[in-house]
Amino acid sequence: MGEKIAFIGLGLMGSRMAVRLIDAGHSLTVYNRSPEATRPLAERGATVEDSPLHAAARSMIVMTMVSNDAAVRQVILGKNGALAGMEKGSTLIDLSSVHPDTSREIHKAAADRGVRMIDAPVAGSTPAAEQGLLLLMVGGDRLVYDQLRPVLEVLGKTVLYMGESGAGTTMKLVVNSLLGVQLQALGEAIAVGQKAGLSKDVILDVLGQTVAVSPLQKAKMENARKNEYPTQFPIKHMHKDLGLVLKLAADHGVPMPATAASHTNFSIEAGRDVDEDFSAIMRLAEELSGLST
Amino acid sequence: MGEKIAFIGLGLMGSRMAVRLIDAGHSLTVYNRSPEATRPLAERGATVEDSPLHAAARSMIVMTMVSNDAAVRQVILGKNGALAGMEKGSTLIDLSSVHPDTSREIHKAAADRGVRMIDAPVAGSTPAAEQGLLLLMVGGDRLVYDQLRPVLEVLGKTVLYMGESGAGTTMKLVVNSLLGVQLQALGEAIAVGQKAGLSKDVILDVLGQTVAVSPLQKAKMENARKNEYPTQFPIKHMHKDLGLVLKLAADHGVPMPATAASHTNFSIEAGRDVDEDFSAIMRLAEELSGLST
Amino acid sequence: MGEKIAFIGLGLMGSRMAVRLIDAGHSLTVYNRSPEATRPLAERGATVEDSPLHAAARSMIVMTMVSNDAAVRQVILGKNGALAGMEKGSTLIDLSSVHPDTSREIHKAAADRGVRMIDAPVAGSTPAAEQGLLLLMVGGDRLVYDQLRPVLEVLGKTVLYMGESGAGTTMKLVVNSLLGVQLQALGEAIAVGQKAGLSKDVILDVLGQTVAVSPLQKAKMENARKNEYPTQFPIKHMHKDLGLVLKLAADHGVPMPATAASHTNFSIEAGRDVDEDFSAIMRLAEELSGLST
Amino acid sequence: MGEKIAFIGLGLMGSRMAVRLIDAGHSLTVYNRSPEATRPLAERGATVEDSPLHAAARSMIVMTMVSNDAAVRQVILGKNGALAGMEKGSTLIDLSSVHPDTSREIHKAAADRGVRMIDAPVAGSTPAAEQGLLLLMVGGDRLVYDQLRPVLEVLGKTVLYMGESGAGTTMKLVVNSLLGVQLQALGEAIAVGQKAGLSKDVILDVLGQTVAVSPLQKAKMENARKNEYPTQFPIKHMHKDLGLVLKLAADHGVPMPATAASHTNFSIEAGRDVDEDFSAIMRLAEELSGLST
């Protein structure tokens, strides 16, 4: 028997996650800022509402999947935000990638109204969202995690408990700092190799045979090979996440020199405001080296 | 029927490689600066000589495996160096990791004497050396590569042709720049996660379940877990290699900001002059964050 | 006719500033965590109190000069903090270098109690504090700035209005980011010059004749020459300030790669927990280059 | 009584230096790749030649002022290069900013032909070149320095002896690494201040009143104020010089993290291939922060 779930935020990731929840038999009410994105969901039987508040009012579980801290605050705490519509004892699940302080702020606001809240950001890109192969990192009350796990497992086969409120979003930033710096490192390596006379194909072939590259890097290296970077995880989101991790670093006095260096390059690319995959950071390294790409 | 091979440089890696060559049926003459290291080889039947020149004089193939550019120059080009003892038509294989300019300089000096030379630096650490699982990246004349391949395959199952003289050492630096920055990135990620409240075990467990970590990183993360960094690839060698790649970058006008940032941290750790694995760079990140390790 | 002023925090800077206020004819009540530091002030006629609250209760102006955000919060907002003792209409001046968010938080807490508050951090080190040559950057209500200016001019001849609450501490961080990176740059320049064969004296002499060095750098270069770094501005404070500026940068999405790189080096040096001048960062650059210092 | 001087390279700097030499009564033969630049000199009485070789053949002193290592090699060592035309006992003065290895290579080639050579790169931009206010840093034989000093003092009032061949160009790179990082630091500081709410004018006014800014920075800050960067020292030259200093750093194992971080930003700006002053690096910091400039 399905749950009554409100799903707020139907972007690249959210739309795919919402489909999975419907397909798993849950009863969905959806909201999205631009209403076009709700249509495919409506066709599959979702109810469409015109505000997070109205969507939340019909549901015992509210999931939010939006693009940054400000958007999370707005759809949850803002005028016509979800929290105002939620019943005591219902559960709010924020799937967005935000600063852990934002998670804790929402958690407190929810608790003040008798609403339970967990942060459950996801690792993985659009294909993983489609296939339910995301990794979910959960922060908040362990009991809530235990109860909600079956629903979360519709989204990702790996659902891990990280600790108290904010621990999920903290872990997400840790993961993404690694991803971001790795692609920057790969870009630098590929650029210097080419300028020093190796062919790009040789470099990619050899790196692919070492124990140094991860499955993710291997996949992204094919983007570099074709010089095409179809968006799975938009570069502007990685730019934002590296900014958040540097903030976390500054909050806690942690020097992150390679992350900071990488963040600068992501700032350049994100500033171009093209909708591209974050792996396009490798192309920037080539470009800054004077390689025509 | 085995080849007559001189093997010069019996350090952590060289000693294991020399054993494999003997076991494969080749006839070895060995030289090492500190003679103690020659004993285990002598016991297996290697002839010991007191200079690279004398070792080279007995052999049609000369292999050198020493720790830096200066050492390579000395054992090959120096007084009593190998080159002076080599016959016309014999082959010099430098397995060391050096600047490609050094490879080309040696290549030219060899050619001037009618000696063939390839650079064939290896990726992989001591266990891989022991088991013949190294990756060899070969620069130089393709014909020489083709002929020498059977001997090189004793050392590593993957022997790849990279291009002209210096292409092997170039590729090796590309690989190591990636390795070095990745471990620095991992160190930064683990440090910020801990300072932000996650347990180290949780961080390592979760990272281990993502597509972000490579087999090498996975292995090194166990070092971080135990806070023990047994030497497989000494940090001073990685420090040297990152220095060489930055030189290559400067030669060719390639900005490598994440590599440069990582190199600084390796300088700190290498400056301590402790004989440790390069993965100890992760401990430095914790230390600089004020985490007691 | 002097004002009744409470002065809280008698460290390197605060003690000198308090003396100037007494000498200018103001009536001082002082508080310091470790009471020994109050003695020289008591001898000059200051009243000593055992808590910020008690000191504040006797005064229409309360000045705080402590070492970081946590200390500011404690002496102002904490149990027995100054704010609890202040009368409506009295004025709180925080001279500390903190994150602007902290300034704004205190400002709001003060306003809630009818207390006026400005942030007025100072640029300049101990000699400037002694001679009243500090630069004060003031954030808060312009009217309060105008009224308090004569008192502030006892501390520094240049007292500038920056804007609303937090603008003073923001400007202070801007200044210190510049100071910190400059000394790091100087350290790198001096190190590479020496390693490339120039004598340290020649380098310092030539740099001193260029338009590139500021008066501050010129003074600090004499520390480098003597390899003695007597504390005027402790390195741990600069480390903290660079951390705050990186936090500000992360708050606002500003890439600060040179600042981040410098912050890492300050982390190394500050981690040694020696009480030294921030210009000792130049010695670290020499040390990391393998120069014996 | 004037000297017979060949002046090769009449760019922004060289043209102004050549005029001063004529005005000081020397007899000039000039060469420039694009012949238009020779016209104003011809009008003042200079002889124009069609190759460095021909210009050098008429002169006892040959000065070269070109834009990079390749150009220096070409005009001196190349086909129709100056060296081939020079008499035994004549003197070659390279005023260009190049890697010290290039200086030493030229020095050796000159010595092999009995020609004396000093490297004498200059600090200062076009106005200083016009007014003879450059700073010259001289490497090479002290005796040659002593003899040539009167001629060099026509170009700059401060002519300093640095040491053996290459010491002049080494010192020049030290100076420019400082200049480059300082402007980057200034750019970062101005950007973060603005994003945190301060007006650009306030930031510039306050920084201008601190002991932190050098005369050069003060001048360049006026560019930032007007958001106009008229070329005195082209950004592509600073980009090249930072690349050379990083190469020097890599040669000698010196970590220069702030310099490397700055170099990346200069790569971005130089890659745009606009002919601008190096201080435009400050505008890039604003741009990367999302400030409209």
Residue C191: list chain B partners with CB under 8 A.
Answer: none
pLDDT lower than 70: segments of chain B = 1, 273, 293
How high is the ipTM of this complex? Answer: 0.94
Hey, are the CB atoms on C264 and A246 less than 8 Å from each other? Answer: no
Q: Do A261 and C263 touch (CB under 8 A)?
A: no
- pLDDT tens-digit readout, D14-41: 999 999 999 999 999 999 999 999 999 9
Nearest to B85 by CA among B72, B95, B75: B75
- Can you list the residues of chain A whose pLDDT is less than 50? none
Cβ contact, residue pair A206, B162, below 8 Å: yes
Predicted local confidence at residue C79, as pLDDT: 93
3-state secondary structure of C37: helix
pLDDT at C142 over 60: yes
**For residues D110 and C35, what is the distance between their CA atoms, to the nearest angstrom?**
72
Distance from CA of D239 to the nearest CA of B (A): 9
Which residue in chain B has the smallest CA separation from C259? B261
What's the pLDDT at C215? 92
Share of chain D above pLDDT 70, in %: 99
A255 interaction partners in chain C (CB closer than 8 Å)? 260, 263-264, 267
Chains with at least 3 CB pairs less than 8 angstroms from chain C? A, B, D
C-beta atoms surrounding B60 within 10 Å = 14
SS3 of B87-106: the string is: CCCCEEEECCCCCHHHHHHH
D172 is known as an active-site residue: yes
Kindly list the residues from chain B whose CB atom is less than 8 angstroms away from the CB atom of residue A171: 193, 198, 202-203, 206
- Could you tell me the pTM of the whole model? 0.90
Q: With cut-offs at 50, 70 and 90, classify the pLDDT of residue D178.
A: very high
Mean pLDDT, rounded, for C220-241: 94
Of B257, B261, B288, Cβ closest to residue C267: B288
Alpha-carbon gap: D132 to the closest alpha carbon of chain C (Å): 14
Nearest beta carbon to residue A287 from set D261, D271, D287: D271
d(CA B79, CA D182): 47
Mean pLDDT of C71-81: 96
Inter-residue contact D119 to D166 (CB < 8 Å): yes
Q: Which residues contact D57 (CB under 8 A, 6 or more apart)?
A: D85, D86
- Give the model's pLDDT for residue A268: 87
With a cut of 80, say whether residue C139 has pLDDT above it: yes
Q: Are B220 and B226 in contact (CB under 8 A)?
A: no
Cβ-Cβ contacts under 8 Å for B260 (sequence gap 6 or more): A261, B246, D246, D255, D256, D257, D260, D261
Predicted local confidence at residue D270, as pLDDT: 85
B209 at the A interface (CB within 8 A)?
yes
User: Distance between CA atoms of A204 and A217, rounded to whole angstroms?
Assistant: 11
Closest residue of B to D243, CA-based? B250
With a cut of 70, say whether residue C1 has pLDDT above it. no
Contact flag A247-C251 (C-beta cutoff 8 Å): yes
Distance CA(D251)–CA(D230), nearest Å, equals 34
pLDDT higher than 70, residue D293: no
Structure tokens at B290: 């004020």
- Minimal CA separation from B247 to chain D, in Å: 5
Instruction: Report the gap between the CA of C279 and the closest CA in chain A (Å).
Output: 19
The pLDDT, as a whole number, for residue A293 is: 63
CB within 8 Å of chain D, chain A residues 236-265: 257, 261, 264-265
- Spatial CB neighbours of A212, under 8 Å, sequence gap ≥ 6: B123, B175, B178, B179, B182, B214, B216
Q: Between chains, do B162 and A198 touch, taking CB under 8 Å as contact? A: yes
Chain A neighbors (3+ CB pairs < 8 Å): B, C, D
The yes-or-no verdict on residue C83 having pLDDT over 90 is yes
Residue A36 CB partners (closer than 8 Å, separation 6+): none
- Please determine, for residue D1, whether its predicted confidence score (pLDDT) is greater than 80: no
Using a CB–CB cutoff of 8 Å, tell me whether A203 touches chain B.
yes
- Over the stretch D207-223, which tens digit does the pLDDT of each residue have? 999 989 999 999 999 99
Q: Nearest-CA residue of chain C relative to A264?
A: C255
SS3 C136: strand
Are the Cβ atoms of D261 and A264 closer than 8 angstroms? yes
Interchain contact C146–A (C-beta under 8 A): no
Beta carbons of D268 and A271 less than 8 Å apart: no
In chain A, residues with a C-beta closer than 8 Å to the C-beta of C252 are: none
The contacts found for B47-52 with CB under 8 angstroms, 24 or more apart, are B49/B6, B51/B80, B52/B6, B52/B8, B52/B76, B52/B78, B52/B80, B52/B81, B52/B82, B52/B85
Residue C77 dihedral angles phi and psi, to the nearest 5°: -100, -15
In chain B, the percentage of residues whose pLDDT exceeds 70 is 99
**Would you say the C-alpha torsion D16, D21, D27, D29 has a positive or negative sign?**
negative
* Better-scored residue on pLDDT, C93 or C273: C93
Determine, for residues D264 and A288 on separate chains, whether the beta-carbon distance falls below 8 Å: yes
pLDDT digits (tens, 9 = 90+) for D35-69: 999 999 999 999 999 999 999 998 999 999 999 99
Q: State how far residue D271 is from chain A, nearest Cα, in angstroms.
A: 7
Enumerate the residues of chain D whose CB falls inside 8 A of the CB of residue A265.
Answer: 264
Residues of C in contact with A264 (CB under 8 A): 255, 257
